[in-house]
Copies of this chain bind each other. A is one copy, B any other.
């Protein structure tokens, strides 16, 4: 067949579910959301056109599975950047945003799939879990900016809205020129978050964002 590294082959293919998700992400990356079809994913995995039904039910099930995989990568990108940043809250927040942006620029169609209006988290527990984990990464990094005057939900929504909007508009090329380098304009734009106040409890020496 093709790419099996598992010790045991469950049935026919090996790990078709995994293979379909992988081929789907390739299709998505190469041809945008319109290129992700059940039949093409099946063909790329070397199985018949109806094989994906058994694993995902229908097209939206496949899309949800791909979105779940996307949230894992997304979460990883954010956490990597946060870890690599200086320990100061603002530096960590900037890192989170840069991770967000890096993911968006690297996987624009995947980001779109993950945040489409019709994507329903109620139907897919794994999707809900993965997206919740991503939200937690943001919430953790936002925590030092939470205070009585600025509740967690509000602060989180502010940060999320801002970086999400910027990421989406950039991937849609809605801003004029934009070098492929996220550190260019991004730093200036993201300076809006400099204006978030640190909570009194976490008042330590902290460089501006």
A residues lining the B interface (CB < 8 Å):
32-34, 108-109, 112, 115-119, 151, 153-154, 157-158, 160-166, 168-169, 171-172, 174-176, 185, 188-189, 191-192, 195-196
Residue of B nearest to A186 (CB): B157
Residue of B nearest to A189 (CB): B157
Given contacts A161-B166, A161-B169, 14 further A-B contacts (CB under 8 A): A33-B118, A108-B117, A112-B116, A112-B117, A115-B168, A117-B171, A117-B172, A157-B185, A160-B169, A161-B162, A165-B165, A165-B166, A192-B192, A195-B195
Residue of B nearest to A120 (CB): B173
Identical copies in the complex:
2
A162 cross-chain contacts in B, Cβ below 8 A? 158, 161-162, 165, 192
Check A160–B171 contact: CB distance below 8 A.
no
Q: A164-B169, A165-B165, A168-B115 are in contact. Are A175 and B157 (CB under 8 A)?
A: yes
A168 cross-chain contacts in B, Cβ below 8 A? 115, 164-165, 168
Nearest CB of chain B from residue A23's CB, rounded to whole Å: 21
Q: Which of B119, B154, B164 contacts A188 (CB 8 A)?
A: B154
Nearest CB of chain B from residue A41's CB, rounded to whole Å: 19
Q: Which of B34, B109, B164, B192 contacts A195 (CB 8 A)?
A: B192
- In the bound assembly, the distance between CA atoms of A115 and B185 in angstroms comes to 21
A158 cross-chain contacts in B, Cβ below 8 A? 162, 189, 192
Check B32–A172 contact: CB distance below 8 A.
no
Residue of B nearest to A195 (CB): B195
